[in-house]
A and B are shown apart, each in its own frame.
Chain A
Amino acid sequence: DAGVIQSPRHEVTEMGQEVTLRCKPISGHNSLFWYRQTMMRGLELLIYFNNNVPIDDSGMPEDRFSAKMPNASFSTLKIQPSEPRDSAVYFCASSPLGAGVLETQYFGPGTRLLVL
């Protein structure tokens, strides 16, 4: 199994630009999670999908952030417009069996985002 795949692995952009992060979960997993990790705030859950439906987006910081999961094998996290304070490592994780937060999550390698 290839594990959770994220792209790009690194992204450097200028303030005001749109950023799109991509994630392919492990095949057969029903739940997908987007996290942001910074030194100051640690690992924060941004949004959680179950069977492609957003279940909890209370962690999305503001309207500049949006996430979609058009099918079971693909999700995007978009930031528009980006700001320097969005600089962080963004992780995608997936879990099996549709039980979501009760199940083990498997993390992708992360996308390191730097907004100048």
Chain B
Amino acid sequence: ETGVTQTPRHLVMGMTNKKSLKCEQHLGHNAMYWYKQSAKKPLELMFVYNFKEQTENNSVPSRFSPECPNSSHLFLHLHTLQPEDSALYLCASSQLGTSGGPGGTDTQYFGPGTRLTVL
């Protein structure tokens, strides 16, 4: 148990459906992330929210729409997905260093992921 929960754990959807993935962190962190992991590919960073502000959109198609209403919750809204979007979607959170100085990258805590299948 990492303190990051994701729902649902499994999702099957058609290409015309609209669904949302939910992530919640109970760690008091100030940054949250969405990653995509396709079969036998590296983790791909999709979105970063730092203090609820989106600071990174890694060229993700508009059919993926993130929402971060507060520092504890993160959503990924999905619509008109393609079969190639089938993957494991992982949420993570971290407490970004605020000292302003250098230091090790802040540890990211990952949720268990949502296994998405697009038919």
Is this pair of chains taken from one and the same complex? no
